[in-house]
Every structure is written in C-alpha cells, then in structure tokens.
A and B are shown apart, each in its own frame.
Chain A
Amino acid sequence: MRDGDQTRRFEQLVLPHLDAAYNLARWLTRNPEDAEDVVQEAALRAFRYLAGLRGESARPWFLTIVRQTCYTWLRNNRPPAEVRILDDDGFDLVAATAGDGGDTPEAQVSRIEDRTLVNRLLAGLPVPLREVIVLRELEELAYREIAEILAVPIGTVMSRLSRARARLRADLVRDLGDAGHGL
C-alpha cells in the first residue's frame, strides 16, 4: 500500500517536471541521449529519496537532483575545465552591467531574434553560466529557487546571471563581427 502511495506521489509531484528536468539536462550535456540517461537516473534517485521531499516545492527539489546527476556525468565525460567552479568573488557585478549596455548597437541586439544564433550563444556559455540562464530565462524560476538548486546565496545567483548576460552580449557582438557585414 505504502509503495503504491509513493509511486502515486512521484507521479503527482515529480513527473510534471520531467520536461524541465530534460531541458536542463539537455542544455548541460548538450546531447539528447546523454540527457535522457541523466534524467532517467535522476528520476530514479528522486523516487528513492521522495520521503525527503516535505512541504517545499517539488520542482527546485527535483531539479537539484537533476543538476547533481548532470555534474557527475559532466565530470566523468567532459574535460575538467568545462565544469570548473567559478570565482564568484573575482567578478565585478557593476562593471559587467555598466560597461557595454549602452554601447551595443541597437541593430546587433535586434539580430538576436535568430533562433540558431540564440541557441549557439547559449550553448557557448560555460556550464555554470549556462545553467543560470536556463533556470532563469527558460524555466523562469525565482532567484530564491535557483539559489536553492545551486546551493549558493541569492547574491551569487544574481551576479552569475549578470555575468552570463554580459558574456552573451559580448559574444553576440563578436559573433556578428566575425560574420562580416550581414546587417
């Protein structure tokens, strides 16, 4: 009886977030098959630890497990440089947001309407920056929830988001520069 309850609880609480889980895993592993393997493993772990989910929202709880499983996979399958820990303290939030915002030509930012370009820019971010963008812009999680998933203070989430956005803008400018005079 209790086992049936646990399965039903999993189906009600965790299963609705399978898309979010797959999206995160897909963006972090950048490979459809590996993302499936990671999510499957994470779902099984979530099922086993389901008793540990009490009261809090299931989505950040499940995504925490998915992210940890992704990192284990990345450590085993990718060069260490790709998952290195960011030096959050060494990053100047004000400089990142103040520097180039007003200088990016309007025309270039509007070019970001292009789907292929957006995907390439996001995929090109280092993993720790890519994941905050995926969680914030694609999954639309609150800062507080992202902080919970990453196990970092909210201030760190904000600074990583700014850093990620600054990097995206810079890459966009560089990318369009490389592409020549297509505007």
Chain B
Amino acid sequence: MDCDHARSQLPLRLDGALAPEAAAALDDHLARCPSCRRACQDLQTLSAALRGHADRFTAPTALRSRVLADLAAAAPRRRPAGIGRWSDFGLGAALAASVMLAVNLTLAPSRPPAGPMADQVISAHIRSLMEGHLIDIASADRHTVKPWFNGRLDLAPPVRDFEAQGFPLVGGRLDVLGQRPVAALVYRRRLHVINLFVGPGDGTAGLDETGPVRGYTVLHWNDGGLACWLVSDVERAELIAFARLLRSPPPAQ
C-alpha cells in the first residue's frame, strides 16, 4: 500500500467503515510509516476537537412549545364539547358582525369614491371576511406567522403583536392586490377585524388616508422598502393610532 492510498482510507478507518482486510492492510502500513501515522493522529485530533468542543445547540423550550402548538392547530380536530378556541367564538362573532356591517354599508347611499388602490384594499378586506377566507395561518404568535410566509412570498413582512395595546394578532394569509401577491396580517380590535396588507414598496412618503368610504378607512404608507395598507371599519382615530404603533420602531431585541 502506498501513502496516497493509505491517506485516502484513513477517514474510513476512523469511521469504522473499512472492510476488515482493508483495515488490516492499512494498519500494517501505519505501523511502518510514521508520516501516515501522524496524519492519522492529526485526523483523530481534529475529529475529537469537533466532537468535544464545537457547540452542539439544543432546541430552546420555546421552540418545542411552538412546534407542539402548531401540531394542535394543524391536526384537524374534533371540537371538544363546551370548550372552544377563540377562533370558534370570538372571531366568529367578529366575522358575523363585520360581514353584516359590510353588507349594510354596501347597500348604503354611495359615498365619495376611493382611489383605485384603496378600492381594491377595501374589496380584499370584505372578501377576507367571508367564511373561511380570513386566515391561512391562525396564530397569535408572530414566530409562527412570520416564517409561514417564507417561500410563499419573495418579501418578508414584519410581523408584530400588539395585544398589550388592544390590537391582538390573529393570523395571516396570502392575498392579491393590484394583481400582485401580498402578505395579509390579520389583527383584531374588539369585534372588528383589521387587515394589514404588505407588498412591494411604491415609494409613497408619509401617511396616505382614504375614507371613511363605505364605512372603511384605508391608511397607506411605506416602511423599509415595503408598502403597507391598513384597512378596517374601526373608528378612524383608532386605526390611525394602530398605524402609529405599526410604524413605531420595533423594540430592541
């Protein structure tokens, strides 16, 4: 056996992946060749150092519980008697209220028309309130909602929860605005649903306001290269307050 061949077989020998005869032949060479012996020690040292000293990270407890929560949400479940998740009643009521409002306002005397984009935003908002359209990913955890958009969109919408301020995150879905796919983040204000659409930036400076049109207020701004539209039938002042929260810098990590 020559040294080149011996060197190429060393890793296999150390990994126990060499057939017995080949291992014996290699050992025989190592016994007679100090240079290959040193290479062998070198390899062993490197392997031991990696195994003994490189960090082997363990999954944080929070990750484990997020995964378990996903399972609970992903498995189509039988409804336990007497116990409902918020989506079974809270959001159901919100939807019913919002849809009724939408229908009423659609029939109401016409108001000043909105711009074409604001119109689309309002239509998308009303469409989202129809049964089963509001959320693709139901979660109040931004760590669940944010990665859900990975691979589904070529932009990463900022996802924050404002439960403490009275605007809890409900979930997210994919939607379409101006024939482009956008992220839709769903928040609640009491019984009202708020949609935040996030798409490619359009360079608008400052905060644009449309409405109330048919009872809906639409706010629009750009943030870090992303265009945001916020729409709901909540009081205009409340929606503006929420927009201010969304535009505030995220807390330092």
How many angstroms from the CA of A104 to the CA of B38 in the assembled complex? 9
Among the listed stretches A38-46, A51-59, A78-86, A175-183, which one makes contact with chain B, having 4 or more residues with CB under 8 Å of it?
A38-46
- Interchain nearest-CB distance for B30 vs A (Å): 12
Verify B75–A3 contact, CB threshold 8 A. Answer: yes
Determine if B47 and A41 form an interchain contact, defined as CB atoms under 8 angstroms apart.
Answer: no
* Cα–Cα distance between A37 and B66 once the two chains are bound (Å): 10
Q: What is the number of residues of chain B that contact chain A, defined by CB distance less than 8 Å?
A: 53
Q: Indicate if the CB atoms of A72 and B58 lie closer than 8 Å.
A: no
> Does residue B85 face the partner (Cβ distance < 8 Å to A)?
no
How far, in Å, is B155 (CB) from chain A's closest CB? 10
Q: Is the CB of B53 within 8 A of A114?
A: yes
CA distance A73 to B148 in the complex (A): 12
- Complex interface residues of chain B between 55 and 91 (CB less than 8 A to chain A): 55-60, 62-64, 66-67, 70-72, 74-77
Majority secondary structure of chain B interface residues (helix, strand, loop or mixed): helix
Query: Is A61 interfacial (CB 8 A cutoff)?
Result: no
**Is A36 touching B60 in the complex (CB atoms < 8 A)?**
yes
Are A137 and B50 in contact, with the CB atoms below 8 A? Answer: yes
Given A43-B70, A48-B74, A97-B11, decide whether A165 and B46 contact each other with a Cβ distance below 8 A: yes
Q: Do most interface residues of chain A lie in helix, strand or loop, or is the interface mixed?
A: helix
B252 part of interface (Cβ distance < 8 Å)? no
B163 at the interface (CB under 8 A from A): no
Instruction: Tell me if A90 is interfacial: C-beta within 8 Å of chain B.
Output: no
| 25 A–B contacts, CB within 8 A, in A order | A3-B77, A6-B75, A19-B58, A21-B59, A36-B63, A36-B66, A39-B59, A40-B67, A40-B70, A40-B144, A40-B147, A43-B70, A44-B74, A47-B70, A73-B150, A94-B5, A98-B39, A101-B43, A112-B49, A115-B54, A140-B51, A143-B15, A165-B11, A165-B46, A169-B42
Give 6 closest A-B pairs by Cβ, nearest first.
Answer: A101-B39, A37-B147, A22-B59, A97-B7, A137-B50, A112-B49
Residues in chain A within 8 A of chain B (CB atoms):
3-4, 6-7, 10-11, 15, 18-19, 21-23, 26-27, 32-33, 35-41, 43-44, 47-48, 72-73, 76, 93-94, 97-98, 101-102, 104, 106, 109-110, 112-115, 118-119, 122, 133, 136-138, 140, 143, 158, 161-162, 165, 168-169
